[in-house]
Amino acid sequence: MYYLVEVSDIVRIPPDKFRGSLERAAMEVLKEAYEGTMNKTLGGILAVVDVKVSPIGKLVHGDGATYHKAVFKLLTYKPLEHEVVEAEVTEVTSFGTFLRLGPLEGLVHVSQVADDYISYDGKRGALICKNSRRVLQKGDIVRARIVTVSLSSGSFRECKVGLTMRQPFLGKLEWIEEDVEKARTPVKGAKPKKPAGV
């Protein structure tokens, strides 16, 4: 899930940035320090926006920079357990599929793709359901539920997200549409139920 979080920090403005605007200098320093990093509490930090810097700074003996209190907003992405996401399949392997979740990639293990026997077709780079003959390949859009999240304080690459598509109304979007149509179609020979008390 994406968040816009307001935080405060002390920002160090180096002497080579004194000529320009204080806001612009603080924005450059904060972007360099925060963007592209991972925080266990906030998630992945995608962008620094809306910086407000105190014009009065402090000097530290032996350092030519000034230190200012800054209040700014961070655009973050943090995957939550049980969250349902729509994502694009970025890679299909014999052990599962990888999905693009904002700045992260998550894995749907082959056992969690569908309630069917799944085989891998290496030539096509696709997973094929044995009974329904449904195919999942790179570029498909799917709906999945996040079941495990392991965020590290390092980079986006070190984070692990596990997903499932085995529950009702999850899977490739075309599969979901087929299942909904099947559920809406009345069964031949079945009598409609009468309301209670009639």
Q: Is the pLDDT of residue 196 over 80?
A: no
R_g (Cα) of the chain, nearest Å: 25
* Number of CB atoms found within 10 A of residue 126's CB: 17
Which domains does the chain carry?
2-77 (3.30.1490.120), 84-183 (2.40.50.140)
Name the residue with higher pLDDT: 152 or 42.
42
Q: Is the pLDDT of residue 157 over 80?
A: no
Q: What is the pLDDT at residue 156?
A: 73
| Three-state secondary-structure class, residue 33 | helix
pLDDT in tens, 60-104: 888 888 999 999 999 999 899 999 999 999 999 999 999 998 888
pLDDT in tens, 159-194: 889 999 998 889 999 988 888 888 888 777 666 666
Q: Parallel, antiparallel, or unpaired for β 43-53 and 38-39?
A: antiparallel
| Three-state secondary-structure class, residue 25 | helix
Q: What is the pLDDT at residue 151?
A: 80
Distance, CA of 193 to CA of 51 (rounded, Å)? 62
Q: Is the pLDDT of residue 198 over 70?
A: no
pLDDT in tens, 101-133: 888 889 999 999 988 899 999 898 899 989 888
pLDDT in tens, 132-149: 889 999 999 999 999 998
Name the amino acid, one letter, at 194.
Answer: K
Q: What is the pLDDT at residue 82?
A: 94
* Number of CB atoms found within 10 A of residue 90's CB: 14
First to last CA, the chain: 48
